[in-house]
Amino acid sequence: MDLRFSEAEEAFREEARAWLAANVPDAPLPSGDTREGFAEHLKWERKLHDAGWAAVAWPKRYGGRDATLMQWLVFEEEYWRAGAPNRVTQNGVFLLAPSLFAFGTEEQKDRLLPDIAAARTLWAQGWSEPGAGSDLAALQSRAERVPGGFRLYGQKTWCTRGAFCDAIFGPFRTDPAAAPHKGITYFLVPLKAEGGSVRGTGRLDGDEGFADVFLDGVFVPDRDVLGPVNEGWKVAMGTTSSERGLSLRSPGRFMASAARLIDLYRRYHASADPTLRDRVVRAFIDAEAYRWFTFEVATQMAEGKALGPEASASKIFWSEMDLALHETALALLGPQAELESGASDAADGGSWMKGYQFALAGPIYAGTNEIQRNVVAERVLGLPRK
Amino acid sequence: MRFALTPEQESSRRTLRELLARACTPAQVRAAFSGSERGKSALWDQLAEFGLLGLLADPELGGSGLGPIELAALLEECGRAAVPDPVLETSAVTVPLLSAWQSDPRIAAWLERLTTGRGLVLSALDATPYVNGAHLADALLVQVGDEAHLALRSEVELLPQESVDGARRLFRVSFSPREDSRVARGPAVSRAFAEAFDRGALAAAAELLGLGVRMIEMAIEHAKTRRQFGQPIGTFQAVKHHLVDAHIGIAFARPLVYRAAHSLAHADPERRWHVSAAKAAASEAAWRAARKALQVHGAIGYSFEHDLHLWMKRVWALAAEWGDAAWHRTRVANAILGESV
């Protein structure tokens, strides 16, 4: 056990810190879940890519830096500490790409990964359907075999930033006669193609962050099938483990949130209830716990262990921690908590209420926490399914 | 950065687990709880032989010369087995305290007797009101402000205080310090006792993890075999989710404990609040695991015949001793918040 960072890790940290200090925009960008904000964020994404920071853990030839997992965690700590913008390329970089690395052909990786890193192709996740959320295997969208590929039919819903993206990735039914988890194939689907239409919808925070995607015969060539036909469930499960595990919400993000909460506490504690002191410390300790838990997991992965169902425990922990952290901030703010960014009295640009609304989605997306608890119970603790 | 035990540490931990499976069975834990065992236990010599008691002592004085990381790993195993003997009080607290003054030949002699299991020395710190197992001690190291005194058992007065955990024999220690009982005095003594308290807190946190893990295992076993409504109760989501919450608490407290151990091992300037974060998290996680395990067991777990309460009561004791969760969070707050009042 050696919890000190190596010289290479420290050097990497210094390099990232210096670049971020010189390049992170002074004022926060408008929300990336609005049209204007998304465009602003893309400029940032391209800047990040040009400097080689868009996907640090990827091989260089795809636009990365060949960084280790530990270096990626270090980069994330610096990224969020610097107050850098949320990543609107999140779904491509951290959800699709790990599936491509695990299941993609060389041709697919060469063709798709550089455009993901460079934010030239923008990807949304096309998983949920009106009748298939937590129960993903109930999905009804289907793909029919045609010469040279497939034609896709059906509706995907709650696609984050779908209205601003070029393509979706997700599972479609290719064998309706098979059992629910079989007969599913993973497709990479263009949105601006004949037969496709997208309708942005508002989320509870008012941003157009959701989209419905309607597919009526959109053609997908064979080369855009990810993994074997009828084995898409395996690909999807590979994605969920990246989603719930390290890559979706790295500890650096919550370390930065906890630091901001402490800063807020210093400004507001005189007017706040004394019991809030304990809640601030709890939030801080939880962020620390997630950080060190993740270093444990990263050590195991570096030594060859696959990220398994423990990822679900991680997702439960960080999503509930994030909620508690934001609720503590709102309690500190008292009557200012409800003020939105336009209000002159709003603290920190109204970002705490905005952040709270975002945090509320945490226990829902990437598989609700109820489903995650079932996964941990059955696959980590060994409790019976039936 | 490598956050994992070494193969040697893992192996030593496994060996202790196997030893305890044979030598510290639930029946023995129960016997200790019920007070049917008097005097030094048979387990004590085996723990001394294993090297657990002298883990932190110099090899010349019968010790293993290891550090807080090994201590945490091995005490987690002691918690798992609910070892009733005062292991924490000796290995984590008294041995390193005596080691600080081992240039004094009297102290060195006691240290060697302690690490080899031939004599028991316990410590009475200003910050801990009760001494567990003091009736068995041959000598006591007593803190009197910035002075350390060594007293024979016959020279102190012990006032027994019954614990909810029958295996813990607590005593309030009264002692009249004398010139010739003094081992050392001055700021270094206060520092040594403060460090001993932190090691006690770390060790308690590690034991709490092990206690929590074992209670969760008991509850999983029960949930798989107990049938109601025609099926194992472990198939019910309400039951599953209780156990997952208990598991998550322990799984996320553990890295804080080993991080704190690492900080003690490397004299990290932030080590005190690292220990506090660990003890706060482990205390609450183990307490929650106890609640959840009891709920999953239902009335069977509430019976005296079932072993669960032996583990649960140890949790109540250790969560409150060596600083409870609120006390430790206040210490973290004082270290990190820096508010101007």
Contact indicator for A344, A336 with CB cutoff of 8 Å: no
- What is the tally of structural domains in chain B? 1
- In three state form, how does the secondary structure of chain B look? CECCCCHHHHHHHHHHHHHHHHHCCHHHHHHHHCCCCCCCCHHHHHHHHHCCCCCCCCHHHCCCCCCHHHHHHHHHHHHHCCCCCCHHHHHHHHHHHHHHCCCCHHHHHHHHHHHCCCCCEEEECCCCCCEECHHHCCEEEEEECCEEEEEEHHHCEEEEEECCCCCCEEEEEECCCCHHHEEEECHHHHHHHHHHHHHHHHHHHHHHHHHHHHHHHHHHHHHHHCEECCEEHHHCHHHHHHHHHHHHHHHHHHHHHHHHHHHHHCCCCCHHHHHHHHHHHHHHHHHHHHHHHHHHHCHHHHCCCCCHHHHHHHHHHHHHCCCCHHHHHHHHHHHHCCCCC
Contact indicator for B314, B165 with CB cutoff of 8 Å: yes
B247 CB neighbours in chain A (<8 A) are 313, 376, 380-381
List, in order of start, the domains of chain A with CATH numbers: 7-117 (1.10.540.10), 123-230 (2.40.110.10), 249-380 (1.20.140.10)
Nearest-CB residue to B248 (from A4, A282, A316): A316
Which pLDDT band, with edges at 50, 70 and 90, does B340 fall under?
Answer: low
Identify the segments of chain A with pLDDT beneath 50: none
Helix (H, G, I), strand (E, B) or coil at A142: strand
Nearest-CB residue to A292 (from B232, B239, B259): B259
**Is A10 an annotated catalytic residue?**
no
Tell me whether residues B262 and A298 touch, CB distance under 8 A: no
Residues 213..232 of B with a Cβ closer than 8 Å to A: which?
216, 220, 223-224, 231-232
Q: What is the length of chain A?
A: 386
Range of the domain at B237: 189-337
Q: What DSSP designation does A163 have?
A: G
Tell me whether residues B224 and A298 touch, CB distance under 8 A: no
Residue A386 is predicted with a pLDDT of 84
Each residue of A136-167: pLDDT tens digit? 999 999 999 999 999 999 999 999 999 999 99
Distance (Å, whole) CA A14 – CA A81? 13
CA distance B238 to chain A (A): 10
- Give residues with Cβ within 8 angstroms of B176, minimum separation 6: none
Tell me whether residues B244 and A1 touch, CB distance under 8 A: no
Specify if B48 maps to a domain: no
Which pLDDT band, with edges at 50, 70 and 90, does B60 fall under?
Answer: confident
Specify if B49 maps to a domain: no
Whether B341 shows a pLDDT value over 50: the answer reads: no
Tell me whether residues B247 and A286 touch, CB distance under 8 A: no
A305 CB neighbours in chain B (<8 A) are none
Each residue of B218-262: pLDDT tens digit? 999 999 999 999 999 999 999 999 999 999 999 999 999 999 999
The CATH number linked to B255 is 1.20.140.10
Spatial CA neighbour of A243 closest among A105, A367, A73, A84: A367
**Partner B contacted by A17 (CB < 8 A):** no
Specify if B172 maps to a domain: no
Interface predicted TM-score (ipTM): 0.96
Tell me whether residues A381 and B243 touch, CB distance under 8 A: yes
Each residue of A118-133: pLDDT tens digit? 999 999 999 999 999 9
Tell me whether residues A382 and B6 touch, CB distance under 8 A: no
Distance (Å, whole) CA A145 – CA A151? 7
Residue A278 is predicted with a pLDDT of 97
A300 CB neighbours in chain B (<8 A) are 4
Specify if B55 maps to a domain: no
Specify if B177 maps to a domain: no
Each residue of B102-144: pLDDT tens digit? 999 999 999 999 999 999 999 999 999 999 999 999 999 999 9
**Partner B contacted by A280 (CB < 8 A):** yes
In sequence order, the β-bridge partners of residue A168 are A124, A189
A287 CB neighbours in chain B (<8 A) are none
Specify if B264 maps to a domain: yes
B263 CB neighbours in chain A (<8 A) are 3
Q: Which residue out of A243, A320, A338, A378 is catalytically annotated?
A: A243
Specify if B20 maps to a domain: no
Specify if B167 maps to a domain: no
